[in-house]
Amino acid sequence: SNIPAFIRASQELLVLWDENYFSRLWCVYELAVAQSVRIPIRVLPMHVYVLVALGQLYWVAAGMGYLLVTPWDLGSGHFGTLTAGILVFALQAHAGCRLARLYEKLQDQFESFDVRGAAISYESDRSSIYV
């Protein structure tokens, strides 16, 4: 019952989206309230932070690999750089593809959303949300 007042007092609504977000009626209600009072809504997939952390981990692993390979690289040092770089870019490409699929799924959920299909724990709450 205090959700509208809380959202009206906010400067922005940050949605930490996951695949089940639009299936929860209270989450959708928060979005509707924010939209009705014209508060900016920022949607951020929760997995983005995991992908960013993985990207950083890939770079650390590549750096360690480079440091391990470089002492045995008798050439000009390009072998170590190439070995570390190929691994990192392959893993980064994988993370980027996953992120693109997440955004595609988010867009699909926006386009196919129907509030009547959203789940709620207590059916009595549904009557207080529907007008």
- Give the range of the structural domain holding residue 8, as residue numbers without chain letter: 3-129
Whole-number Å distance between alpha carbons of 69 and 75: 12
CA 53 from centroid of its chain's CA atoms: 12
pLDDT per residue as tens digits for the range 9-46: 999 999 988 888 888 888 888 988 998 999 999 988 88
Rounded to two decimals, what is the model's pTM? 0.61
* Sequence-ordered alpha helix ranges (H) in 1-131: 3-8, 25-36, 47-69, 78-112, 123-129
pLDDT of residue 53: 81
Total of domains in the chain: 1
pLDDT of residue 6: 92
pLDDT per residue as tens digits for the range 57-113: 877 877 777 777 766 666 655 666 676 677 777 877 887 888 888 888 888 888 887
Q: Residue 66, class by beta-carbon neighbours within 10 Å (0-12 exposed, 13-18 middle, 19+ buried)?
A: buried
Q: Tokens for 80?
A: 């170590």
pLDDT of residue 79: 66
126 pLDDT above the threshold of 70: yes
Sign of the CA dihedral running 85, 87, 90, 94: negative
pLDDT of residue 75: 61
Q: Tokens for 57?
A: 């981990």
